[in-house]
Amino acid sequence: MGQLYWNGTIHTMEQAGTVEAVLVENGRVCWAGALSQVEHLPNLKKIDLEGCTMIPAFLDPHSHFTAAANALLQADLSECVNFQEVEERIRDFIRDSRIPEGTWVTAQGYDQNALAENCHPTLALLDRAAPHHPLLVQHKSGHMGVVNTMGLKRLGITPQTQPPEGGAIGVKDGHLTGYLEENAFISYQKKVPMADLEKMMEAYRGAQKLYLSYGITTVQEGLLAPQMVPLYRDLLASGLLQVDLVGYAEERTAGEVEDAFPDHIRQYKDHFKLGGYKIFLDGSPQGRTAWMRRPYEGEREYRGYPTLTDRQVTEALTHASENGMQLLAHCNGDGAAEQLIRCMESLRQAGTDLTDLRPVLIHGQLLGVDQLDSVKELGLTVSFFTAHTWHWGDVHLKNFGWDRGSHITPAASALARGIPFTFHQDTPVLPPDMLETIWCAVNRRTASGASLPEGIPAYAALAAVTRTAAWQYFEEGEKGSIAPGKRADFAVLSRDPLQVRPEEIREVRVLRTIKDGRTLYEA
């Protein structure tokens, strides 16, 4: 029996404008147009949109599915405004979760910029919060964090421990501070045991429901490390995946992941495919570890720092090219973007052109407008973390000054040059709210009320998380718009984001999420 969606505003995203009705059969769109042409057909299940708006389902261009699931099992520090609240939240979590003494505790989501003390939690604070448990607390960006004394001992970190290249271990007056940064934090975080299998499967269910509640039917695993292979085997065996999940293997260990999932390379099986590789070129702008061409405001020399050498970046690009795999490159600062551009240009001159693999520059917070012509010439797609304008825009103005800080996420300049771009929320850094990211891209406002340049029209912002997002995944023939032959992946919204006032866009709510013609979420 066919399904006929009607009586609402339907944006196909094939072109500007709307259609009256959409006909679905066997999980795919078979027709979109005037209601009068199909309403007489027999054996139709008519689905009344009741005046609401239907669009193609959102595709998540970059996030971390397992981290989003794991966050549901951790103490949430995202709303803490001072050290006392951090301590209380961790203590309450340990008590309420009945975590046995000596068992690892993890917490996530603090932001030193939002704390009254304006600094990272201290070792003394964490020792008070968890005196009988090893504890790791992760910064909201995911690029740094703090470990208590018991945790440092478990991880074997001493004042003499040498940090890995591209990372830092905090030491003051010969004593550990508990602070870990970039590659040091990431490498030691991997050594902290994950939750047991039953809890992780339940957390995966919760994470999937979260994405669906925001109208998303294609999700990303933005860094699939070998340690996650057993989890993914169990996840796929469980059959719980209803969304499509695209994984990007940590480039230097990608062979282990590919060997584990040979039937998933560049193709879906059980709703999961390996889409390519991931590398990190720098850190976080709000954490002041993003690699810049010019010093941070108030600094004579400090520009952040790289996490990879030019040789390592070139080898990663070559590896991706040789295996025909897409590469995602985390670049927040313009120094990191310059390194990626430099290495890609060097390879192109040597005869290796990556354009057909649609490489993606992830985040691009401080990507310079002057770098965009090179970005276009090299065939780079940019996935902007545009919600930074609201959540950390004021911090960026402080760290980089008006000239650089106001032009974070230069989407309007990219649009003017015809550069393909998408928007993401980097979940679990922020909830996967695509309507918020559209609001941020259109309004370009900071939390204090500053108005920033580089705003774009709502239609272009919506295209970034539907049509262009599908293109980024090489799935433009299957998803991203409502057209005959494509999957019936839809989001039903309370209001039309293209017709409400720009400042009201983030008030629009997802009422229903449909995947392959099946309703998987309903508010």
Residue found by looking up tokens 């720009």 in the block: 502
Claim to verify: residue 242 and residue 342 sit in the same structural domain:
yes
8 A C-beta contact, residue 388 and residue 357: no
Q: For residue 478, is it left (φ>0), alpha (ψ between -120 and 50) or beta?
A: alpha
Structure tokens belonging to residue 236: 């796929």
Q: Contacts from 249-253 at CB under 8 Å and sequence distance 24+?
A: 249/224, 249/225, 249/274, 249/276, 249/277, 249/278, 250/223, 250/224, 250/225, 250/226, 250/277, 250/278, 251/277, 251/278, 251/279, 251/316, 251/319, 251/320, 251/327, 252/316, 253/225, 253/226
Claim to verify: residue 135 and residue 282 sit in the same structural domain:
no
8 A C-beta contact, residue 129 and residue 155: no
**Is 519 domain-assigned?**
no
Q: Which domain holds residue 99?
A: 74-189
Claim to verify: residue 92 and residue 221 sit in the same structural domain:
no
Whole-angstrom Cα distance, residue 459 to residue 247?
28
**pLDDT reported for residue 195:** 84
Percent of the chain with pLDDT over 70: 100
Whole-angstrom Cα distance, residue 318 to residue 252?
12
Q: How confident is the model at residue 17 (pLDDT cuts 50, 70, 90)?
A: confident
Claim to verify: residue 393 and residue 261 sit in the same structural domain:
yes
| Domain stops at, among 463, 478, 493 | 478
The CATH number for 223's domain is 3.20.20.140
Backbone angles phi, psi at 500, to 5 degrees: -70, 165
Claim to verify: residue 269 and residue 376 sit in the same structural domain:
yes
Whole-angstrom Cα distance, residue 114 to residue 118?
7
**Is 60 domain-assigned?**
no
The CATH number for 119's domain is 3.10.310.70
Strands 216-224 and 244-250: parallel
Claim to verify: residue 207 and residue 334 sit in the same structural domain:
yes
Structure tokens belonging to residue 176: 């550990």
8 A C-beta contact, residue 410 and residue 369: yes
Whole-angstrom Cα distance, residue 355 to residue 371?
17
Q: How confident is the model at residue 197 (pLDDT cuts 50, 70, 90)?
A: confident
Handedness of CA 472, 473, 474, 479 (dihedral sign): negative
**pLDDT reported for residue 19:** 97
**Is 343 domain-assigned?**
yes
Claim to verify: residue 314 and residue 359 sit in the same structural domain:
yes
**485: exposed, middle or buried (Cβ count in 10 Å: 0-12, 13-18, 19+):** exposed
8 A C-beta contact, residue 344 and residue 312: no
Of 144, 105, 104, 102, the closest CA to residue 121 belongs to: 144
Claim to verify: residue 114 and residue 256 sit in the same structural domain:
no
**Is 101 domain-assigned?**
yes
Dihedral Cα 213, 61, 74, 511, nearest 10 deg: -10
Whole-angstrom Cα distance, residue 394 to residue 450?
8
Claim to verify: residue 263 and residue 328 sit in the same structural domain:
yes
8 A C-beta contact, residue 73 and residue 99: no
| Overall number of domains in the chain | 2
Whole-angstrom Cα distance, residue 444 to residue 456?
9
**Is 15 domain-assigned?**
no
* 3-state SS, residue 214: coil
pLDDT tens figures, 171-191: 999 999 999 999 999 899 989
Whole-angstrom Cα distance, residue 420 to residue 360?
10
Q: What is the DSSP string of 107-152?
A: EEEE-GGGSTT-SPPPHHHHHHH-TTS-EEEEETTSSEEEE-HHHH
| Domain stops at, among 167, 189, 211 | 189
Residue found by looking up tokens 């607390």 in the block: 137
Q: What is the mean pLDDT of residues 443-468?
A: 98
Structure tokens belonging to residue 247: 């994984």
Q: Which residue has the higher pLDDT, 16 or 59?
A: 59
Lowest mean pLDDT among 161-170, 334-343, 405-414, 441-450: 161-170
Claim to verify: residue 319 and residue 259 sit in the same structural domain:
yes
Claim to verify: residue 317 and residue 293 sit in the same structural domain:
yes
Claim to verify: residue 168 and residue 238 sit in the same structural domain:
no
Alpha helix segments (H runs only) across 156-244: 183-189, 197-213, 229-238
Whole-angstrom Cα distance, residue 388 to residue 401?
15
**Is 68 domain-assigned?**
no
**Is 492 domain-assigned?**
no
Q: What is the mean pLDDT of residues 99-104?
A: 95
Percent of the chain with pLDDT over 90: 95
**175: exposed, middle or buried (Cβ count in 10 Å: 0-12, 13-18, 19+):** exposed
Q: How confident is the model at residue 397 (pLDDT cuts 50, 70, 90)?
A: very high
8 A C-beta contact, residue 346 and residue 354: no
pLDDT tens figures, 201-258: 999 999 999 999 999 999 999 999 999 999 999 999 999 999 999 999 999 999 999 9
What's the mean pLDDT when you consider all of the chain? 96
Q: For residue 485, is it left (φ>0), alpha (ψ between -120 and 50) or beta?
A: left
| Domain stops at, among 189, 219, 239 | 189
**Is 282 domain-assigned?**
yes
